[in-house]
Amino acid sequence: MKRRYNKLISAGMSRYIAVGLSVYALELLIILVAQKLGASSILAIGLSYWTGLLVSFWLQKIITFRDRRMHKRILAKQILYTYMLVIFNFLFTITVARMLGSTVPAVISRTLAIGLTTIWNFYLYKTRIFGDNELPPIE
């Protein structure tokens, strides 16, 4: 069990972190530019989140997990499962931003949300979304 756990964590982890940090930098840049242009913290975080999501999906799929499967059925399931995860992550992120909005800058609340979602995202991407296993059927 421990060997399987270590393999799961070590496989692709450096690529996952590199892609994540790159997308994180992009998101922070979007937040800062959007706020400089007059956007509220919530709008700036929302813009950065959705842009980061699009970039991250493709980079994680192709670079991190080396999943080159592009068959419509597989891709449709991956997009659906990612969409469900994204909706949860987005609601979580906005909740964190609202809870901390009056006490910390938007960049800090987004960073905290990213740190927390990163943990469960890696596991779900690796084992359920981009893993070699067949995805469960869509009902």
Cα distances from 80 to residues 70, 90, 109, 119, 139, in angstroms, run 14, 15, 27, 20, 12
**pTM assigned to the model:** 0.68
| CA nearest to 21, candidates 64, 84, 61 | 64
Q: What is the pLDDT of residues 42-83, one digit of tens each?
A: 999 999 988 998 999 999 999 998 898 889 999 999 999 999
pLDDT tens-digit profile of 103-134? Answer: 999 889 988 998 899 889 998 998 889 986 55
Q: Where are the domains of the chain?
A: 2-129
For residue 133 the two structure tokens come to: 């296993």
